Amino acid sequence: METRKVQVTGGSTYTVSLPKGWATDNGVSSGTVVELYPEDDSLLLTPRSDTSRQEGSLDISEIEGERLTRAVMTMYVSGFDIIRLEATRITTDQRRAIRNATQGLVGVEILEETTDSVVIQDLLDSSELSIVNAVSRMRLIAVSMLEDAVTALTTNDDDIAHDVIERDDDVDRLWLVVSRIFRATLRSPRAAEELGVPREDCFEYHSSARQLERIADHATKISNLALKLEDVPEDVADALAALHDDAADILEKGMDALSAEDSDEASQLGHAAREAVLEIDEHTRTIDDLLRDLDPVEAQSLGVIADSLSRSADYGGNIAETALQKAAPRP
C-alpha cells in the first residue's frame, strides 16, 4: 500500500499524485483522462478506455465438444463482447459445439465464419441489461417450474414434465447473464455506475441467482423422475404437494425480502423464511414413513423427489439469509 498527502492548489482545488508504477503499468501519462467514481467514503479511479467493446481470441485447435461449448460460455461470462475462435481448420463438430454455445447465451450471434475462424458477437448493450430484472425473471421461471414439476408428478402428465425440462434452458441463459453483469461490476466501476445498483447488492443478487438456478435444476430432476413413474399413491402425492407448498412459500418470502426496499420489511420476511426452513424436516420424515411400504424402486425415486423439494426449501432459506445481509446496516 502506498500513501499520498492531499494538497491544495489555487486556494480551492484538492490534488493528490498518482503512484508512478501504477500509472506506467496502466498507460497513464501527462494528458491522460481518468475517470473518478465516488462510492460512499471511497473514490475509485480508472483510466478512460478508448473502446467499450472487449475483444478476445481463443485457439480451439485442441478443444471440441462440451469443452468447446463451455469455453465459449466462459469467455462470454468473462465479459468479452467479440469472441474470435481460431484453428488451422475448424471442423464440423467444432462448429456444432459453437452453435450450441451461442444458442445457450442471450443476445449472442455468430457474426462471421471462415475455414479457420468463427467470430461471435454479443449484440446487447451491457448498459441496458438489468441484474434485478434478470433475477426477477429467474424467480418467475424457477417457481413455476417447481410447481409444474410436482403437478406433472401427481397427475402423471408427461407433457407438463417435458415443458419443465425445456424451461431449464431459459434459467441457465439468465444465470449466465447475471454472472456476466456481476463480473463486469467487479472489473469496472463504470459498469456498476451504468447499472445503477451498488456492487454489494450485485453480489447479493448474484448469490440469489445461483440458488434459483439450483432450484430449477431440482425441478428438472423431479420432472425426469415423473416421466419414469406411474401413478403415485394418493397419500404420497398429497404429502409431496404439501412439501412443495411450504418450499415455495419459503422461496417467495426469501425473494420478497431480497427485493424489499424497506429494511424492516426485508428483515421480517427473511426471518420468517429462515424459521420456516426448520419445519421442512418434519415434512420429509412424514414422507419417508409413507414410502416404507412401497416398491423399493418406486420408493427410492419418490425419496429423491422429496429430497429435491427439501433442498429447494433450503435454497429459498439461503436467499432469505442473503436478503437479511442486504438489509443489515453497513459500516
Which position has the higher pLDDT, 53 or 86? 86
pTM, rounded to two decimals: 0.87
pLDDT over 90 (residue 15): no
Are domains 55-126 and 127-327 of this chain identical in fold? no
- In the 8-state DSSP scheme, what is residue 84? E
Which tens digit of pLDDT belongs to each residue from 179-211? 999 998 888 777 777 788 888 899 999 999 999
Rounded to 5°, angle at Cα 19 from 15 and 24:
120
**Interatomic CA distance for residues 164 and 223, integer angstroms:** 7
Mean pLDDT of 237-247: 96
Mean pLDDT of 273-298: 91
Q: In CATH terms, is domain 127-327 a member of 1.20.58.220?
A: yes
pLDDT over 80 (residue 1): no
Which tens digit of pLDDT belongs to each residue from 245-260? 999 999 999 999 999 9
- Classify domain 55-126 by CATH number: 3.30.110
pLDDT over 70 (residue 63): yes
Average pLDDT over all residues of the chain: 90
Distances 246 to 194, 249, 253, 306 between C-alpha atoms, Å: 38, 5, 11, 12
Strands (E), 16-140: 34-39, 42-47, 55-59, 82-86, 108-113, 117-122
Rounded to 5°, angle at Cα 78 from 187 and 27:
45
**Interatomic CA distance for residues 176 and 18, integer angstroms:** 37
If pLDDT is split at 50, 70 and 90, which confidence band does 49 have? low
pLDDT over 60 (residue 126): no
Domain boundaries, the chain: 7-47, 55-126, 127-327
